[in-house]
Amino acid sequence: MADKRTDRLIDEKLEQALSDVEKWLNEQKSPAPQFIGGGNVVSFLSDTGNASDWSGNLTHIGSVPNFGAATFLISATANNTGTLYATVINKLFVGSLSSQYTTANYLADEAAGKIAFFSSYTNVPSSSTATNAIQWVLSMNGDIRPTIYLKFYIYALDQVTITVTRLT
């Protein structure tokens, strides 16, 4: 009888040891969780340094009087790292650099039946293997009469060089 208890105890110990080895092997296969946040993530807000990155009038499109559009290519290239994670932010000024167009302006223009300014972004898929650059296309629509000023900022995990090109 003592032999059966001893055999059972040895079997239980062996099963536990095998279970521990299997658990250890599985832990070796999966990467250890990494802490993200706090002091180890540094981000930058970059701009060209100019008061505005583009100024001019929108080009008339369609049959609606005074309604126009313009399309811009915004490019950001990392200054220090090989991989860039970023987003683009823009400010729109209408008539002068001291007159920022806000959501309240948009809503007031819509309520008054005026032509409101609005924009949308599309990420441009990279056609190369470079990971240190990102491009966006901005479509801007609104009134063709006032001069508009666009200012772009790139919020990224690196300082970037920004270029803005009007496409249409």
pLDDT for position 33: 53
CATH assignment at residue 105: 2.60.40
- The beta strands (E) that lie in the chain are given as 44-46, 54-56, 59-60, 67-78, 86-94, 118-124, 133-143, 148-156, 160-166
pTM of the predicted model, to two decimals?
0.72
Query: Do residue 4 and residue 83 come from a single domain?
Result: no
| 67 CB-near residues (< 8 Å, 6+ apart) | 60, 61, 115, 141, 142, 143, 144
Same domain, 59 and 80: yes
Does residue 88 contact residue 153 with C-beta atoms inside 8 Å?
yes
**38 within domain boundaries:** no
pLDDT of residue 53: 96
**Count of structural domains within the chain:** 2
Domain match, 87 and 162 both: yes
CB 58 within 8 A of CB 143: yes
Does some domain include residue 138? yes
Residue numbers of the domain that contains 60: 43-166
pLDDT of residue 60: 96
pLDDT mean for each 10 residues of the chain (168 residues): 66 77 70 56 88 96 94 94 90 96 94 93 79 93 96 92 95
Same domain, 64 and 13: no
Q: What pLDDT shows up at residue 2?
A: 57
Judge if 141 and 93 occupy the same domain.
yes
pLDDT at 67 (0 to 100): 96
